[in-house]
Amino acid sequence: MKGYQLTIEQKESIQGVEYTPYQFFNCVQNINNVWFTFLSDSDIVAITDSEWSWILDCPLVDYVPPTPPPFPNE
């Protein structure tokens, strides 16, 4: 899966911000603690001519999720 790689400052500027009345940015960290956001085709259309269009200039790179913590024995 590919996502837009963000700096910490970029992540802080968009985390939780609504870009449509029903959609907001939700950033996640990869296995190396690098921040990412993911956009669908309709999200890209929604932000193309907006104040958040700079996100489309961020590197689009492979996202590797962090390893989940072990579940305790039941």
Residue 64 pLDDT greater than 90, yes or no: yes
Gap between the Cα atoms of 1 and 10, Å rounded: 20
Report the predicted TM-score, pTM, of the whole model to 2 decimal places: 0.87
Sign of CA dihedral 55, 12, 5, 28: negative
Average pLDDT of the chain?
95
Cβ-contact 26, 15 below 8 angstroms: yes
Please choose, from the candidates 59, 46, 63, the residue with its C-alpha nearest in 3D space to the C-alpha of residue 2: 63
pLDDT at 13: 97
